[in-house]
Structures are given as structure tokens and as C-alpha cells.
Structure 1
Amino acid sequence: MNETMVCAVGRVATQPVYREMASGPSARFRLAVTARYWDREKNAWTDGHTNFFTVWANRQLATNTAASLTVGEPVIVQGRLKVRTDVREGQSWTSADLDAVAIGHDLAWGTSAFRRGGKQETAAAPTAPEPNWETPPDDSEAHSDPSAQRQPEPAAVT
């Protein structure tokens, strides 16, 4: 089947809207993609035209999208491009939608902490607790008392 797969790099323009549908979870948000170019006359980077896409996510991707994204965050979206044209009340309009296959934070702009979703675990997966990968402090008291070890702090997403 011929589908137009695209990869769009931009920023979350609207807060994701999450809905429980008969077919399963669904989420949507607007993605702003602004072209940037080097303006030789100004000797500086300049913003070009901004394109807006409605991004649609389904099933587990919808759940994770609603829990992970907020307005202004840089993201990368891969999905099927769907361009629709319609006439309403005498006005013709066109919309560009992305049926998302994958969504992630753009790590060129900051850090992100990954956490597995509850439905991602399988029965064959071990149920042992996650090991503490934090390097213990150098003082000898912390080595003898396990409760004195620091707990890892979650990474901030910028």
C-alpha cells in the first residue's frame, strides 16, 4: 500500500486532548513546524513559514502522549500524512493531519527520562525491582547504611 510517511520536527502547539473511544484510547494535539534559514543580509538565523499539523495518536501511543507532552516542548513525530479538503458554510479549507506511528522528545533541545508504560510489560519479563544505578556517596557511613543512599532524582524535561 502506498502511504506518505513523514517525519516532522517541531513544537507542541496545543495541550494533548485524550479521549477513551469505543475503538480504544485516542489523543490529538497540534504540532507547529517552523522553517529556519540563514539570512545573509541580517547575518542571523530567521524564522520562515510555520506549518501546523494535527497529530493523531491511538492506543498505547495515545496514553503515553497525553501523559508525556505539554505545550512548547520540542518533539519529533513520524507518521502517515493525510491531507483533507472540505467545504463548510461556503468556505473551502484544507487540513494536514499526521496519523502518528512514533512520537518522542527532540533531545537536541534538552533531556528526557524514559519510563515504561504498564501495558508494555510481558508475562515473561522478570518482576524484580529496578536496581539502583546511582553511584553511592564517597563517605563510609553511606556504604554501611543502605537507607542513607541518595535516591535518584527524575530528570527535568526542558
Structure 2
Amino acid sequence: MNDQTYIGNIGKKPTFEFNEHTGKARLQFSLAVNKRYQDRESGEWRDGRTLWLNVVAFGPVAENASNLSSGDPVVVIGELVDNSFTVTDDDGQSREIPRTEVRAKIVTADTRKAAITVARQPRREHTGSTTAPEPAA
């Protein structure tokens, strides 16, 4: 398990799609992660360079986070995934386009900066018996 935690603000408005063929929801957004540090000479807090991450979530995680907007403070837990791909130019030359994204397993509001309201999803029905087996006599 290579899950990491990323805390930042959503960049531009997230895109939410529902694939009718697979029946899965997909949410994608950019995440701005700023590292703050204290200047040793002045003692003042400063913002470091912004790291921009592409985040993608699927299924219930995507559906439950679909109401997020740009600027929202969020916490994302997920795994870095390499989605690099190769393109061929008009002259026949191939080149790789590097693309790394965070495959989110959890997306939630950063409660240090935002309040949340919990709306529980209805439980999914499971196949099979929901009762315990009778004890053997």
C-alpha cells in the first residue's frame, strides 16, 4: 500500500463524468499544495513553491466529492500513478508525454479551514444470507 496524504486547495473547477458504459463515476481536479516555512532570519512564515497535482477519483469517492468547487481546501489520500503515454508526431517521431496523477481513495474537506456536513449514503444490499447460521446440535 503506497497511499500518501496531500493537503491543499482545488485549482480550477473539478470535472465530474458518469460513464454510462461502465456505470462508474469519475471526478478529476488539480490540487495546489503549498509548503509553508518559517524564515530563519526574520521569523516570518512564508509560502514555498506551489506543487500542482492532478487528482482522479472513481465510483462512490467521485460521487461523494462531486460537490467540491475551485478553491475548496481538501485532504486527499491516494496513490501516485504513472499514466504517461506515447504520441507520434506528423513526421513519425514518437515521444513520451509524462503524466503522473494521484488516484484518490479518500477526498474530504480540510476541517481546519472548512466545515463539513455528513450525509450518509444508503447501505448497499449484499447477496446471500444476512442471518447467522444455526449452531450445530
TM-score of the superposed pair, with normalisation by structure 1: 0.66
Moved over 6 A (4+): none
Distance 1:47 1:93 in 2: 30
Distance 2:103 2:116 in 1: 23
Structure 2 match to 1:132: none
The runs of 5 or more residues in structure 1 that have no matched partner are 124-158
Aligned positions, number: 119
Counterpart of 1:16 in structure 2: which amino acid? P
Given that 1:55 and 1:97 are in contact with CA atoms closer than 8 Å, whether structure 2 keeps it comes out as yes
Q: How does 1:44-83 map to 2 (within 5 A)?
A: 44-67=44-67, 69-83=68-82
Q: 1:86 to 1:122 in 2, by over 3 A?
A: closer
Structure 2 match to 1:121: 123
Structure 1 match to 2:42: 42
Structure 2 match to 1:31: 31
Deviation at 1:122, TM superposition (A): 4.5
Structure 1 match to 2:8: 10
Q: 1:59 to 1:122 in 2, by over 3 A?
A: closer
TM-score of the superposed pair, with normalisation by structure 2: 0.75
Determine what percentage of the aligned residue pairs are the same residue: 25
**Which one has the bigger helix percentage?**
1
Q: With CA pairs under 8 Å and 6+ residues apart, which has the higher RCO, 1 or 2?
A: 2
The runs of 5 or more residues in structure 2 that have no matched partner are 126-137
